[in-house]
């Protein structure tokens, strides 16, 4: 048993090394998806156009941390945050940058909208500037062509 544990431990170490290198000099897509997974965005949002890459990143992340990750939004309540496959076409870079850091600013002052704003505010982006840049750089490339009707459009100020 001890031997088996030792083996698993060494294997885990091996898996961690490529995972770290991968995060540092991957493509825009690899870096962005790594943050999307790390920050658990996938628990409420799908990116159907790139779901295979997201699943692969989830697996790599789970292995590197030795944890099991929650299921993706797709498996559960899809209405949670919606699919972001075309978000780069639907929103400008400026909008995305501000919204992800300060979602509350974007919602109207009606009671229902404030409730929704609170929900999203709790999920505003928290992380380093470098992580945020990697995330937004990738999100901007998401232009699948399938326009999404954002469910919360009526709550946005503009
Ligand atoms: C707990 C669930 C939850 C998590 C986690 C979450 N979001 Fe959201 N997100 C929402 C909800 C709710 C909305 C508002 C949209 C709606 O109600 O349809 C939203 C809206 C958005 C929008 C605007 C969508 C549009 O159509 O304009 C973007 C972009 C977005 N989220 C990105 C992210 C990113 C990136 C992360 C990870 C850092 C993240 N979200 C984490 C629930 C979540």
How is residue 124 written in tokens?
């505003």
Ligand 1 centroid to residue 54 C-alpha, Å: 16
User: pLDDT higher for 72 or 86?
Assistant: 86
The label of the residue with tokens 């156009």 reads 49
Which tens digit of pLDDT belongs to each residue from 80-90? 778 999 999 99
Which tens digit of pLDDT belongs to each residue from 121-138? 777 898 999 999 999 999
Residue nearest to atom 17 of ligand 1 (CA): 152
Distances, alpha carbon 68 to alpha carbons 4, 40, 57, 157, in Å:
20, 13, 13, 39
Average of per-residue pLDDT across 30-56: 94
- Report the residue among 34, 44, 138 best suited for mutation to probe ligand 1: largest number of ligand atoms under 8 A from its CB: 44
Q: Is the pLDDT of residue 78 over 80?
A: no
* Closest listed residue to residue 61, CA positions, set 69, 70, 53: 69
The label of the residue with tokens 């993706």 reads 72
Which tens digit of pLDDT belongs to each residue from 90-122? 999 999 998 898 888 888 999 988 888 887 777
Q: Is the pLDDT of residue 156 over 50?
A: yes
């Amino acid at each position: 048993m001890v031997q088996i544990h030792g083996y698993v431990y060494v294997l885990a170490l091996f898996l961690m090394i490529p995972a770290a290198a991968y995060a540092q000099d991957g493509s825009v897509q690899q870096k962005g998806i790594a943050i999307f997974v790390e920050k658990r965005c996938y628990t409420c949002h799908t990116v159907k156009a790139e779901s295979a890459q997201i699943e692969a990143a989830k697996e790599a992340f789970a292995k590197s941390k030795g944890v099991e990750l929650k299921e993706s939004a797709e498996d559960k309540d899809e209405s949670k945050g919606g699919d972001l496959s075309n978000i780069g076409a639907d929103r400008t870079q400026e909008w995305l940058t501000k919204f992800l850091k300060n979602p509350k600013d974007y919602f109207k002052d009606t009671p229902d909208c404030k409730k929704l704003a609170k929900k999203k505010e709790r999920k505003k982006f928290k992380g380093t500037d470098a992580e945020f840049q990697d995330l937004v750089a990738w999100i901007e490339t998401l232009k699948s062509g399938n326009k999404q009707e954002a469910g919360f459009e009526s709550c946005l100020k503009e």
